[in-house]
Structures are given as structure tokens and as C-alpha cells.
Structure 1
Amino acid sequence: MRLFVGDDWAEAHHDVEVMDASGRRLAKARLPEGVAGMARLHAMIAEQVGDLAEEDVEVVVGIETDRGPWVRALVAAGYTVLAVNPLQAARYRERLGVSGAKSDAADAHMLADMVRTDSHQLRPIAGDSDQAEAVKVVTRMHKTLIWERVRQTQRLRHALRDYFPAALTAFGDLDAPDTLELLAKAPDPASAAKLTIGQISAVLKRARRHNVADKAVQIQAALRTRHLGQPPALTAAYAASIRALTAVLLTLNEQITAMRKEVEAHFGRHPAAEIILSQPGLGAILGARVLAEFGDDPNRYACAKARKNYAGTSPITRASGKKKVVIARFVHNDRLIDALIAQASTAISVSPGARAYYDKQRARDADYNAALRQVANRLVGILHGCLKTGTLYDEVTAWSHQAELAA
């Protein structure tokens, strides 16, 4: 017996529908988030199962997320959970009707019907270990904080450009600890011009800068340079904003450092860490991100091509009639592709095989980004082979096929 469950989730509740193999609705309900809701869902399914043995029943659940306590509880109950991409769900909704009507109950029905008819096209929730999930949590937070620091730094830059452009000349790295300390101490042109060589030097020493004396003189000279400014009232308002931004950035710097230690600790305890670290271009942080986004379910990727497709490094082909175009994948995991491209950019400097492969792509008139993406694609295949066989990276073995083709 097969039962199909559509689960349209929200923060506080779940609209669910249970459907049989013929598409007939057996039950539907709105369940609260949490233990009580999960108990009611189990009761709904048990009512349909009756006295059948557990091994004679398969429950397939379609839901538009792959994480959270609710999803883990579904997996723990022995249900087959299919994570439906919201874009796929939207297209399937259009397939069922073109009116544009939408409701939570209708979406639950749509998800149930989708897993009933197209479960072979959908990806089950990965069976990643708790260790891999922990690595994912800390690496994603670490990267999120870095992205947030970039945003706050851009806000700081735009504000300084509007009322204190001399500061942009004085400080090259706006999120550096010494820059933030000096801006917090003197956030307006008048107070910055009063900073002494001794005050600036003390801040640079705390930040462990080199050539402190020369840099202090350069910063002081830049801060005292005449520039177009703003009226006093507006300058005071900007200065208050700068104090707030520097405080946020100082906190972000502290938390990024703390989360980096967490990433290294969690990643270092994972069994696959040694294999991943053996890959060219991967250190502890990038390696942790790669592990986190790929997961460690040994059955998730049937072959290297499947892993490459998930990574978004492999190209896609669009062919119609006489027209055929090969292009990069637009839909991908941003965090994963970011880590893989960063790996490739380093690998071409430390791996002769990766460099030769990159030069080969460039010789075919591929631009920098396209060539780097091809290197990343090749490195994903190498990583897949190492993880499948449990072997460390070997430069000769990894690029032997390319050497044979060149010969």
C-alpha cells in the first residue's frame, strides 16, 4: 500500500492532504507546528493504514523544504520525504490549472499529487550524518556573517563618500580593526583632523600593522586633506550613523572569528575531512563549505555526473531544430558554487594538472570565468572519485586522463 502526503508548511502550521495511488483524497487537515501536529499526522496515516504491517506500507511525503525539526521527524518516522523545489512546485501548479488561484489547502493537494505521479523525478531528503549537518549549520552562519560584513562595509563606504571622502583615501580596508577603531574615535572631518601621530600609531600597533610610523603619517596627512563637505548638522547626523556602522562591523568581525573556529573544529572531526583537505585549493574553511553543501550521504550521488549537476558546474545544452547552445547553469546552490570557484582559482596555482586543464580551456577561447568553471567541474569529479573510493587526492592519478588525451 502506498500513501502520498502533500505538506504545505508555514511557520505556525501545516496544511496536509493524504492521497491514495489512484489520486483519491483520503484525508486533509491543518496541523499545528510541533509535536502535537506531528502526532495528528501519524494518526491520520494510521487511520488509513488500518491493520496492515509496517513493512507493507510506504508513505511518500512532498514538502517544499529539506530541513528543520518537522522534516527530521518525518524521516525518523520512516516516511520517504521528497524535497520539492519551489520552482518545480510553481510549474506543476500551472500544469494543473491556469487560473492563478492559490491556497494552502490547494498547494497541499498539488504536492500530494505531484509526489504520486512524479516521485521518480524528485530527490529524496539526503541521509546526511549529524556531523555533516552540524558542519552545514556553522559554515552557513560563518558565510552569512561574511556576506553581512560586506553589506555593512558598503553602507559605510557610501556614507563616507557623502560627507567625509578623505577617510576613503586614508583607509584602504574599511572593515579592518584599526580603521573601525579610528572611525569610531573620530567619525567626522573635524575630529579626524585632530588625531595625532601618537594616537594613530597606537591603534595601528594594536592591529599589528607593519611600518607603523610611515602609515601613521600617511593616514594623518590624508585625514587633514581639504575636501568638499556637508553642513554641520548633516555632518553630525552622518557621524552618528558611522558610529553605529563601526560598532556593527566590530561585532561582525568578532563573531566571524568565533564562527571560523567552530567551523574548523566541527569539520576537523568529520571522517571525510582528510580526503577533502587533500584536494588542491581546499583548506579547512572552503573544505567545510564543500562538505556541508554536498552532504555526506554515500548514496546521494549515483555518479560523478550527478554530483557535478548538483554542484551547478556542469553545463546544460539547449537544442531545438538546427539550433544548439551550451550554456552555464543558472539555477544552482550559491554557497556551493562560490566555494568550488574559489577552490578552482587556487587550484590552478598549486596543481600542475589543474593549471594545464585551465590553459587548455583558455586556448579554446573560453573566457576566465568559463575556464575556471570547467576546472571546478573537473575537480568535483575528482572529489567524487576520492570520496567513493576513500582515497586521498593524487596529482598524477587525478589528471592522467587529460595527459593521455594530450599524448
Structure 2
Amino acid sequence: MATDRLWAGVDVGKEQHWVCVVDGSGAVVLSRKLSNDEDPIRALVAEIDALADQVCWTVDLSTVYAALLLTVLADAGKTVRYLAGRAVWQASGTYRGGEAKTDAKDARVIADQSRMRGQDLPVLHPDDDLIAELRMLTAHRADLVADRTRTINRLHQQLVALCPALERVAQLRSDRGWVVLLARYQRPKAIRQSGVSRLSRMLTDAGVRNAAMIASAAVAAAKTQMVRLPGEGVAAGLVADLAKEVIALDERIKTTDADIEDRFRRHPLAEVITSMPGMGFRLGAEFLAAVGDPALIGSADQLAAWAGLAPVSRDSGKRTGRLHTPHRYSRRLRRVMYMSALTAARCDPDSRAYYQRKRQQGKRPIPATICLARRRTNVLYALIRDNRSWQPESPQIAPTAA
């Protein structure tokens, strides 16, 4: 016989989930391992539905591991709530088993916490294809950028074993021309023999802007070292391979950027978001990837809290009025708002004036930028709510004397 309500908690895994169902008293009704495949998930949902008139589902992850589960539950018309893994870990110590951790115990903690906390837990909403694609592409771009940084670091280290003077002058992170040069010439002797003119022509043909400057610096550095270091042949080969790898990564990042921009421009709020100073298509895409459906943002304060820009109080006893950064917020969303504020402080007069006021009030650069980011959340929320583009304030025209 079906009861009124049950609570289902899911400890999400890559290949298998663990599902635990509890009743109104917290007693376990069902606890079972579940394969991460569509048919078993649908079968279990139907089985649990037969046990109660209403089933409240809660998960501890919303990553790709839970994508199939969340999609099937949404297709079945289920509302799914989210309990962060940190909260599961903090609560698990009060349940039987102490500090011992198992999937079955975690699933029970999720279900029971959902029963007790109810409406306090946020609801997960299924993403449309566009948001899902933006999340994949922005995450992939972040991986490519991290790979590029690691390769550049290895290239610097290997170049020291070849010619320390050349490593000191090479601006590998900021100037593509140096990477192009090292993909072709690595040994100090080869650089000296090629000379400034030949290197400049090669770099110019490769589309490098400051070719003559790079060629002159490279030849000057190569002339400071006439001795051949041990293992020069192997080191030169490794430098060439790493430089070519950086060039290939640059091309992949460029292609990924084009894919991100193409999908971002399809979103109905793309022009609204990028109209705000400091918010380009990449940060706009990361914003959508972080928040999902912007229509679900309830207020500017909610957006600020989500981004970790709204300080929370830390009062205890006689100590009152102390504020600190919240522990639970979206680091990704905070980065978007911070980086866009950083850019706006340089290119937008109003933002720059606000930032300077905060600096004059005694705030250091980072806190002043955070204040600007918090102010901008109000503007961005209003633009999204009203579906309108940002417009600078019209200058006030002083009345002319009669």
C-alpha cells in the first residue's frame, strides 16, 4: 500500500549510483545499487513511485556523472533537489557508523537530510542543449589553457639546458613569435649563423608582428654563449617538439573559441550580456555555463550571493557586525564577475570612477575590484530581468543662460 511521501537520496557515481529511500520517520524503505543506464533507472523510478503518492528526489552531484539520471528523472516529471557533497560529509558523522564512509550510508544521509531540510535545498533544473554545450566547451577550453601553461613551463625549463641567456629573453607566455622561432631554430649556433635578417624574414612570413625585435634579441642572446652544453642535440629536439605543441594548442584554443562564440551568440540573452562593459563572449559563455537558465535568478542579491560577493555575518556572543566571504558559492561565477569588473575598471569611465572612489576610501586593489563586481551584479540582473542592453548614462547638459 502506497504511503503519502517518501524521500529518495542518490549517491552519484560514474558507473553506478546508490539509491536509498526513507519514509517520514527516517526509516529505510529501500537501499540499492543502481547502474548508470537508462532502463535500470526508469525501472527503479517506477518501482519507487509504486510505494508512495509523492517521492522527493535529492542528489549530491550535478556533474556529467549525474547527467543521465537527472535527464531521466526530468523526463519522468520529477523535481530533483541538490545537497552538496560537503554537507553530506558534515552530516554523516551523526549517523550510525561514525566516520566510516560507504555509498549506502551517503545515500541514506542524502535522503534523510532531504526529509528534514525540505524546501531549504535548491532545486536542480535540467539544462537545454545550448547550456550543456557551453559547459562542455568552456570546460574544454580551460583544460587546453592549462595544458598550454604546463607546456610553456616545460619549454622554459628545457631551454635553460640549451641556452640560459635565450631562456631569459624569450617571452614565451605573451609573445607567439618566440614560440614560432623555437619551433624552427633552437641551438645558439644555428641562431647566430642565421642572423637577424633571415630570422626576421622567417618570422614575418609566419605572421609575427614584432619579428625584427624578436630576431635581434634572440641573436644577441645566442652570441653570449659559444660553448656547447652537454646533451644539446636532445635538448634542441625537445625544445622544438614543445614549441610545436604550444602552436598546436594555440590552434585548438582558437577553434574552441570560435565554437564557444558561435553557440553563445545563439542564446537570446547574448547581446544583453555582452552589452555590459567588460563582458565579452568568453566571459558571457562562462556566465551562462555557471548559472544555467538566467530566468531562474530570483534577485540581484541572489546573484551576488551565488557569486560569493555578498558577505555573511559571523556573530558570536558579544562580537557582532563581523562579515566574511561565504564558504558556499560558485567559484566559476565569482571569477566571471571579478574578471569582467577588472576589465571594466580599465575600459569603462563609470566603472573606473567607482573603483577609484573605493581606492580613495582605503581599500586595496582586490577588495576594490570585488566591490565593483558586487555593484555590477545589480546592473547585470536588471538587464537580464528587463531583457535590455546596457546604455551609458546620458551626460547632463547644463542650461544655457537666457
The interval holding the TM-score normalised by the smaller chain is: 0.7 to 0.9
CA distance in 1, matches of 2:88, 2:182: 49
Deviation at 1:214, TM superposition (A): 4.5
Moved more, 147-156 or 259-268: 147-156
1:21 counterpart (8, 19, 24): 24
User: 2:283 — aligned with what?
Assistant: 286
Q: Where does structure 2 lack aligned partners over 5 or more consecutive residues?
A: 395-402
**Contact kept in structure 2, 1:275 and 1:391, CA below 8 Å:** yes
Task: Give the match for residue 404 of structure 1.
Answer: none
- Deviation of 1:188 after TM superposition, in Å, equals 4.0
Instruction: Give 3-state SS (helix, strand or coil) of 1:320's partner.
Output: coil
Give runs of aligned pairs for residues 79-118 of structure 1, distance below 5 A: 79-96=78-95, 99-118=98-117
- Conservation of the 8 A alpha-carbon contact between 1:358 and 1:371: yes
- How many pairs align? 388
Residue of structure 1 equivalent to 2:299 = 303
Shift of 1:80: 1.7
Q: Does the 8 Å CA contact 1:358/1:375 hold for their aligned counterparts?
A: yes
- Are the counterparts in 2 of residues 66 and 125 from structure 1 also a CA contact under 8 Å? no
Report sequence identity in percent. Answer: 26
> Given the superposition, is the C-alpha separation of residues 243 and 85 from structure 1 closer, same or farther in structure 2, using an over 3 Å criterion?
farther
TM-score (norm 1): 0.86
Task: Give the direction of change, closer, same or farther, for the CA distance of 1:329–1:224 in structure 2 (3 Å limit).
Answer: farther
1:110-259 → structure 2 map (5 Å cutoff): 110-174=109-173, 176-226=175-225, 230=229, 232-233=230-231, 235-259=232-256
CA distance in 2, matches of 1:237, 1:325: 59
Post-superposition offset of 1:229? 7.4
Report the 3-state secondary structure (helix = DSSP H, G, I; strand = E; otherwise coil) of the residue aligned with 1:252.
helix
Aligned with residue 330 of structure 2, among 333, 355, 365: 333
1:359 corresponds to 2:362? no
Q: Cα offset for 1:286?
A: 1.7
Residue 256 of structure 1 and its aligned partner are, at CA, apart by 0.3
The C-alpha deviation readout for 1:263-306, integer Å capped at 9, x for no partner, is 1100111000111011111122222222221222413x221111
Which deviates the most, 75-84 or 360-369? 75-84
Q: By how many angstroms is 1:351 displaced?
A: 2.8
Matched with 1:318 is 314
Question: 1:127 Cα deviation (Å)?
Answer: 4.4
Q: 1:268 to 1:238 in 2, by over 3 A?
A: same
* Equivalent position to 2:49, from 29, 32, 46: 46
* CA-CA distance at 1:177 after TM superposition: 4.1
Gaps of 5+ in 1: 50-55, 398-407
Structure 1 letter corresponding to 2:256: M
Which residue number corresponds to residue 344 of structure 2?
347
Per the alignment, residue 401 of structure 1 pairs with: none
Structure 2 counterpart of 1:4, from 4, 7, 26 = 7
Separation (CA, whole Å) in 1 of partners of 2:328 and 2:117: 20
Tell me the secondary structure at the aligned position of residue 82 of structure 1.
strand
Deviations 1:359-396 (A, max 9, x none): 22212211000000110111112111111121222333
Kindly indicate whether the alpha-carbon contact (under 8 Å) linking 1:62 and 1:81 is maintained by their aligned counterparts in 2: yes
CA RMSD across the alignment: 2.5
Q: Distance in 2 between matches of 1:62 and 1:2?
A: 17
TM-score normalised according to structure 2 size: 0.87
- C-alpha distance in structure 1 between counterparts of 2:288 and 2:174, whole Å: 28
Letter of the aligned partner of 2:302 in structure 1?
A: A
Deviates more, 1:13-22 or 1:125-134: 125-134
Check conservation: 1:27, 1:44, Cα contact below 8 A: no
Structure 1, 312-321 or 375-384: larger mean CA deviation = 312-321
Amino acid at match of 1:219: A
Question: Residue 273 of structure 2 corresponds to which residue in structure 1?
Answer: 276
Q: Which amino acid aligns with 2:11?
A: D
- Tell me if structure 2 keeps the 8 A contact 1:177–1:207: no
CA contact (8 A) 1:16 1:108 kept: yes
- On the 8 A contact 2:286/2:336 being kept in 1, the answer is yes
Q: Distance in 1 between matches of 2:333 and 2:33?
A: 35
Residue of structure 1 equivalent to 2:398 = none
Residue by residue over 1:103-125, the C-alpha shift from the partner in whole angstroms, topping out at 9 and shown as x without a partner, is 11111111111111123222111
Q: Which amino acid aligns with 1:306?
A: Q
